[in-house]
Each structure stands twice: as C-alpha cells, then as structure tokens.
Amino acid sequence: MIFTSCISQKIFKEKNGFLRVEAEDFYLQTNDSVRKWYVVDKNFTTDLKDADFSHSKSASKNKYVEILPDTRQTHADKLIRKENFSNVPGIAVLHYKVNIKNPGRYYVWVKAFSTGSEDNGIHVGLNGKWPNSGKRMQWCKGKRSWYWESKQRTKEVHCGIENAIYLDIEKAGEHTIQFSMREDGFEMDEWLITSDKNYNPRNIK
C-alpha cells in the first residue's frame, strides 16, 4: 500500500471574521488506528477499500483528504459502530491550528464530495472538545460533486437544519479546530469559518 501524508506547520489567521483552509493542511492526526484520513492527489494509490475513484482533478489545489477504508458504502452494508460509523466524535481526528483575532460565534462550512447516503457525515470541534453545535454535519444535496454545506442532522430532519453548525470561540489567540469521522469514505477538500450567519460560499463565484 502506498499513500501520501501531510503535516502542516501553518497557523491559519482569521481576518474580519473569516478563515478558509485547505483540508490537507492539518498539523496532526490522532485516533487513527481504526480509520485514517489520507491525502489524495494524482499520485495516490491504495489497496484499501474505496467506493469510487479519485476526485483530485476537480479538488482545490488538486488535493483532498478521505477517510479509509470505506467499508459501509450503501445502507445494505453492515454498520459497525466505532469502526465504519460513529455518532460520537473521536475517531480519525484531524487538527488545525488557527489564530483568532475577533472572538465570537463562527459558523462552519465544509466542501465535501459525497457519492451516496453513507459517506456524508462528519463532526467538528474546538480545542479537544466536541460541542453539540459541531456534531453530525450532513450532506444530502450536491451528490457526485464538491459541494459546500453547513447543516446539522437531527432526528426530525435527517438532511440537516441550517445555521446549527458553529463553534463559540470565546477568547482571542491560538486555538485548535478538529474534524472527526462520522462515516467512513468521507471526502473533504476545504473548510471555512465565518462570523456572518448569512454567508454562503455557494453564492461566491
């Protein structure tokens, strides 16, 4: 098996309530013995089970990250909790260093590529904690394309509700934002945080 890896030493700086980051620019990955994020580019090859081909050509900077192996590709495949699915954050965690100048509430958006119903969920947290407002990010639209979304799955609304995924950053300075697996096979290209509740990256040409 051959795979690429990436450890970035960058500290990403928020400016005017906005910060955008390439997914492959994480500085640390933890809890990856069961599932792991891999950096996928044009040279990536693997023997691990995967549901589809590489999407690096259409990804920003021709790179993205994906959780592998992907053993639950359809609803008919066996769901194994804490292996190919986890409603509790903590499996396969990516860490990013950020510097926040303007504390407050930041809404989280992620650009992901989903091909089915079992590769479209993730969790986001802050400084080693997993607030309820960061759990169960969900994608239903934009299948088979890179698609920005910021919705939280609930029992009542499986495709998610808007303005419910956010992090409350109370102090200025350096922080860590982390992402954790909910479903294996998840593919992430970029993520951003914004203090503007009405901001939507899909509206930016």
Measure the CA–CA gap between 100 and 171, rounded to whole angstroms: 8
Q: Is 4 exposed, middle or buried (0-12, 13-18, 19+ CB in 10 A)?
A: middle
- pTM for this structure? 0.95
- What's the pLDDT band for 1 if we cut at 50, 70, 90? very low
Structure-block tokens of residue 8: 């970035």
Domain ranges of the chain: 11-203
How does pLDDT run across 135-188, given as a tens digit for each residue? 999 999 999 999 999 999 999 999 999 999 999 999 999 999 999 999 999 999
Give domain 11-203's CATH superfamily: Galactose-binding domain-like (2.60.120.260)
How many residues are there in the chain?
205
Count of CB atoms within 10 A of residue 13's CB? Answer: 11
How does pLDDT run across 82-93, given as a tens digit for each residue? 999 999 999 999
